[in-house]
Chains A and B, each alone.
Chain A
């Protein structure tokens, strides 16, 4: 096994584990190729199984011959291991460092993980583009599935099949692709059943400084407009950022070339700004000894909540254009793989009740994030504790989940899934035994043969016994568009993620159980009453028979 050389000391006895809000455990520490395991070998104490890929950063300390390793995880948990013996401690530390930063994807745990459960429904086949398109086909014939990207030649980050206006042929698409960043020509993201309006997404147009035009691009997006109607282009960058992009060959749609479209700029931050924001926020949450002033000022300075507000606001804007204005919308930023997806996916949560169901939300993540080419592997390589200079890392998906949580909190009955499900997706996006979030786009996933070699997260989550934990007991289908409040006092810090390891959740968990109990008891009573009703109906017909002779 190739990991063996990285593991100098596979086993240490007498290691003491400290975890937040849990009793300390003394036991044997074992390192395997993918896990750090601590077992006390007693029946009733919990063991620790930690994926190396979940480790963000480690710190070493020594007092005499007692070494301490502080393990900071990507799910924001911090644990401490006291290891007797300096050499053992150093060996363990260097092994963890090496094993948690393997550069080859195919060495990652999902390729070695064998499920302990029977895969009833294979998650890899659950949300295929052609399936998702079938429903749209029943509603409109203005769109078609194009296989222009079959070999990923037109756009390396798009899936093989994309939905485009029927009136536009594949040759036109190829030309448009040359005019859009990363070949990301405008494709269908969402079809609003109520009024037939659509949301599209793309990369920025490559107008450059001399205002290049592309007739095919104009034709493509104009093909989505109804006669005499205007559309909206939502550029997720502030106007000055978009202007600056011109110097690097990018840019935005000029009014002159797109007279039927109104462009709106919103300022959603990207990359390292988001990553720094996450680092600052987590640092503030972990500082136990601070005053109220310091906490509020650090929370403010992290800007995290500002990002949340900006994304929700922009998603509301997109939803408003579609639902209220009856206009079609094109969303893009620079690459169209980050802020664009935050906006298009959150707007769908607002507009489409299906996206608020368990399956619908999985389908949304699959469609608007995985197949749409959000580079999960790059973005989630490091989390809040990493010291290395972030280049491609950014908590883009975490911010999206945070926004969904905000809407869920404001509409506690309108979602079929609960907060735990969002937290689960956060964890698995950063470290997982499943292959779902590996790779950066459909092409990479195909090349890695993920569907053949790994198990899908969806295969596991959708088993009835797992799913139960993630269902919202208050759920009542709500077919309306839900408009969240974006006032600062309505947007809270997502404690379930950011304070999860800093406060005991016992009382809140108890409250959740109590809530489940109340709902279940009610259902039980309802079914009793229904049973009586049936009994009564039988009595009635029985009596009728008695009386007729």
Chain B
């Protein structure tokens, strides 16, 4: 609270980027956790909530006659531009938000103050909703080939790994310890995914400390044990997800990659995913493209190419496809590593798991997958997503890329995923917002030290509670597309620009409904109709009664039916206030619902640039004539 210099500023304008000449005027409030903009318009009374921890940049632009513009860039790629009448107020808000959006200690994070009104039991239940032991059991472990090792109890061997890990049955604690000493940060090879159909596995680790010639007997034994715990194959793949050049450079620092000669029966392969710095600057370049005001097609396509973003997404998906093919089609186990084994390795392993096992394409399954491959295996969430004010070189969109791979796959297999785009966007936001404790810190150990289970809430319970919002209407568990291994095409033209993620601007109500929106509405309606119909069929049909009684029963029945029908009509009315095809009505409904829920920010994923809007800035520059449209900024669909 001490950082808030001005809790309330009046007569602030919020600029909609699509129609900059029609700002809404209102009051800006600063609270400990949010900036809240309340529109003055008596009819709409819309509120815009921006979580401080989602803000990544507060920028004061040069003062204009209208006032001082203040730009908030958010980690979920939303941008808000306010105009504050008084310079002084603007300075105060700027200073307050700059400080508030860069917490210095974990204790300042929102998750420690966020209280969703649930009791202690509900909170604990929430934390146990995703249980990794159950996940290993689901995969069929432990079994006659794989066992739980005690070696990392109390994080004795590796403090960035979870305490419960699976290794081949023949691997003893000394082998684990020996191997861990030969691996960066002690991250020894351990199981992440077990393919029940053929016993092939995906294992992960960090790079070996091989330098130019070093060897480690225990590490060699470890890999040998992994190979032999797959009875179906006489060799295993060792996959280094880095470009070959990077891996070779690491040898000079005493690290590097496995020498095929030293390990029996391995086949070594580089997969060429770039490092976190390349990815960070690539995403930055892509944002610059998205930020262009009225770009031409050439600006856009050239910028997209130049950013290299889709190339990197393809590299990650290609890596996943390689691993999944080895496991499912060749029946060969794969050991995956990069440098430390917590970024590219997590990406490659989780994409491969997603391709291999339909479970991870369910809502629950994706939660489990993220909990296993990312949270438990020590992906450095707080560093990568800048939860605390720290080294900007540690920040990188590693998880963004994984979520994007999922989205790209969902384009190719529209019926295969139980969750929809909204779920991925929401997940992305939660990873950055620190509203829940799941993604705090950089390892399981840190989270235990922070006592997140006692002091914060779990995001999984929250997402699960709202799961109706996240269901892909086209998903059917029994659909052939849902079964088995996914074999995506990875030709360059299969990769699309993720507009829903990267072009999120402020207002949603101008966007026409998408196919998913419509189908979701129709499906919900069908479910309600089903419920009503089955309720009616339960009413007994009696005719063998005396006339008076039967008449009475008939009246009773009628009343029930009337009641049910009223319900149905009421529901239909709610669903479709006017025409179903009219974009506005539907989406305002969505927007309203969203405002009520705890996360007001998600309702705003759209690009509402309309032809009309763009025209105002596309008038020919050769300029003999041009259309000057006084209200070309008007909401495009208000012409009704």
Residues of A within 8 A of B (CB): 232, 238-240, 262-267, 285, 288, 290-297, 299-300, 303, 305-306, 308-309, 312-313, 315-317, 319-321, 323-325, 350, 410-414, 474-493, 495, 499, 502-504, 507-508, 510-511, 514-515, 518-519, 521-522, 525-526, 528-529, 532-533, 536, 539-540, 543, 546
- Whether A488 and B302, one on each chain, are in contact in the complex, defined by CB atoms closer than 8 angstroms, is no
Output the least CB separation between B567 and chain A (Å): 11
Does any Cβ of A come within 8 Å of B608's Cβ? yes
- Whether A412 and B607, one on each chain, are in contact in the complex, defined by CB atoms closer than 8 angstroms, is no
Does any Cβ of A come within 8 Å of B619's Cβ? yes
A515/B515 contact (C-beta < 8 A), A264-B625, A323-B639, A521-B526 known: yes
- Whether A518 and B495, one on each chain, are in contact in the complex, defined by CB atoms closer than 8 angstroms, is no
CB-nearest residue of chain B relative to A503?
B489
CB-nearest residue of chain B relative to A300?
B301
A239/B620 contact (C-beta < 8 A), A325-B629, A489-B300, A518-B526 known: yes
- Whether B536 and A239, one on each chain, are in contact in the complex, defined by CB atoms closer than 8 angstroms, is no
CB-nearest residue of chain B relative to A304?
B297
- Whether A312 and B611, one on each chain, are in contact in the complex, defined by CB atoms closer than 8 angstroms, is yes
Residues of B within 8 A of A239 (CB): 620, 622, 624
Q: Which of B64-72, B226-234, B471-479 contacts A (4 or more CB under 8 A)?
A: B471-479
C-alpha gap A528/B461 in the complex (Å): 37
C-alpha gap A435/B492 in the complex (Å): 39
- Whether A309 and B615, one on each chain, are in contact in the complex, defined by CB atoms closer than 8 angstroms, is no
CB-nearest residue of chain B relative to A512?
B414
Does any Cβ of A come within 8 Å of B565's Cβ? yes
A533/B565 contact (C-beta < 8 A), A324-B632, A525-B526 known: yes
- Whether B620 and A316, one on each chain, are in contact in the complex, defined by CB atoms closer than 8 angstroms, is no
Residues of B within 8 A of A320 (CB): 611-612, 615, 627, 629, 632
A539/B554 contact (C-beta < 8 A), A488-B300, A522-B526, A525-B529 known: yes
Across the interface, A295 reaches (CB within 8 A) one of B300, B493, B609, B615, namely B493
Does any Cβ of A come within 8 Å of B61's Cβ? no
Does any Cβ of A come within 8 Å of B568's Cβ? yes
Interface contacts beyond A292-B305, A476-B579, A478-B582: sample of 16 additional A-B pairs, CB < 8 Å, sorted by A: A238-B622, A266-B620, A299-B493, A300-B301, A300-B305, A324-B629, A476-B580, A479-B640, A484-B610, A486-B614, A487-B294, A489-B499, A493-B493, A510-B414, A511-B415, A522-B522
Among B586-630, those with CB < 8 Å from A are 607-612, 614-615, 618-620, 622, 624-627, 629
CB-nearest residue of chain A relative to B620?
A265
Does any Cβ of A come within 8 Å of B267's Cβ? no
- Whether A413 and B518, one on each chain, are in contact in the complex, defined by CB atoms closer than 8 angstroms, is yes
Across the interface, A526 reaches (CB within 8 A) one of B314, B412, B529, namely B529
A532/B301 contact (C-beta < 8 A), A288-B491, A313-B615 known: no
Q: Return 15 A-B CB contacts under 8 Å, by A number.
A: A292-B495, A293-B311, A297-B302, A478-B581, A481-B639, A483-B612, A483-B637, A487-B503, A488-B301, A490-B607, A493-B493, A502-B493, A507-B414, A522-B522, A525-B529
C-alpha gap A536/B563 in the complex (Å): 11
- Whether A412 and B518, one on each chain, are in contact in the complex, defined by CB atoms closer than 8 angstroms, is yes
- Whether A240 and B620, one on each chain, are in contact in the complex, defined by CB atoms closer than 8 angstroms, is no
Name which of A290, A324, A488, A502 has the most chain B CB atoms within 10 A of its CB: A488
Residues of A within 8 A of B611 (CB): 312-313, 315-317, 319-320, 350, 483-486
- Whether A292 and B412, one on each chain, are in contact in the complex, defined by CB atoms closer than 8 angstroms, is no
Residues of B within 8 A of A293 (CB): 305, 308, 311
- Whether A507 and B568, one on each chain, are in contact in the complex, defined by CB atoms closer than 8 angstroms, is no
C-alpha gap A505/B424 in the complex (Å): 25
Across the interface, A264 reaches (CB within 8 A) one of B492, B519, B522, B619, namely B619
Interface string of B289-329 (1 = CB under 8 A from A): 01000111111111011001011001000000000000000
CB-nearest residue of chain A relative to B626?
A264
5 interchain residue pairs of minimum CB distance: A316-B611, A476-B581, A488-B300, A295-B492, A511-B414
- Whether B551 and A546, one on each chain, are in contact in the complex, defined by CB atoms closer than 8 angstroms, is yes
Across the interface, A487 reaches (CB within 8 A) one of B302, B304, B607, namely B607
Does any Cβ of A come within 8 Å of B561's Cβ? yes
Across the interface, A529 reaches (CB within 8 A) one of B299, B474, B532, namely B532
- Whether A296 and B515, one on each chain, are in contact in the complex, defined by CB atoms closer than 8 angstroms, is no
Residues of B within 8 A of A (CB): 290, 294-302, 304-305, 308, 310-311, 314, 412-416, 473-474, 476, 479-481, 489, 491-497, 499, 503, 512-515, 518-519, 522-523, 525-526, 529-530, 532-533, 536, 551, 554-555, 558, 561-562, 565, 568, 579-583, 607-612, 614-615, 618-620, 622, 624-627, 629, 631-632, 636-637, 639-640
Residues of B within 8 A of A313 (CB): 611, 614-615, 618
Residues of A within 8 A of B536 (CB): 532
Residues of B within 8 A of A291 (CB): 311, 492
Output the least CB separation between B366 and chain A (Å): 19
- Whether A502 and B496, one on each chain, are in contact in the complex, defined by CB atoms closer than 8 angstroms, is no
- Whether A518 and B473, one on each chain, are in contact in the complex, defined by CB atoms closer than 8 angstroms, is yes
- Whether A486 and B609, one on each chain, are in contact in the complex, defined by CB atoms closer than 8 angstroms, is yes
Across the interface, B491 reaches (CB within 8 A) one of A319, A321, A502, namely A502
CB-nearest residue of chain B relative to A239?
B622
Output the least CB separation between B142 and chain A (Å): 36
Residues of B within 8 A of A411 (CB): 512, 583
Output the least CB separation between B87 and chain A (Å): 34
- Whether A305 and B301, one on each chain, are in contact in the complex, defined by CB atoms closer than 8 angstroms, is yes
Output the least CB separation between A359 and chain B (Å): 18
- Whether A292 and B314, one on each chain, are in contact in the complex, defined by CB atoms closer than 8 angstroms, is yes
Output the least CB separation between A76 and chain B (Å): 14
- Whether B568 and A529, one on each chain, are in contact in the complex, defined by CB atoms closer than 8 angstroms, is yes
Residues of A within 8 A of B624 (CB): 239, 263, 265
- Whether B579 and A296, one on each chain, are in contact in the complex, defined by CB atoms closer than 8 angstroms, is no
Output the least CB separation between A453 and chain B (Å): 41
- Whether A514 and B522, one on each chain, are in contact in the complex, defined by CB atoms closer than 8 angstroms, is no
C-alpha gap A354/B171 in the complex (Å): 73
Residues of A within 8 A of B579 (CB): 476-479
- Whether B300 and A522, one on each chain, are in contact in the complex, defined by CB atoms closer than 8 angstroms, is no
Residues of B within 8 A of A503 (CB): 489, 491, 493-494
Residues of A within 8 A of B416 (CB): 507
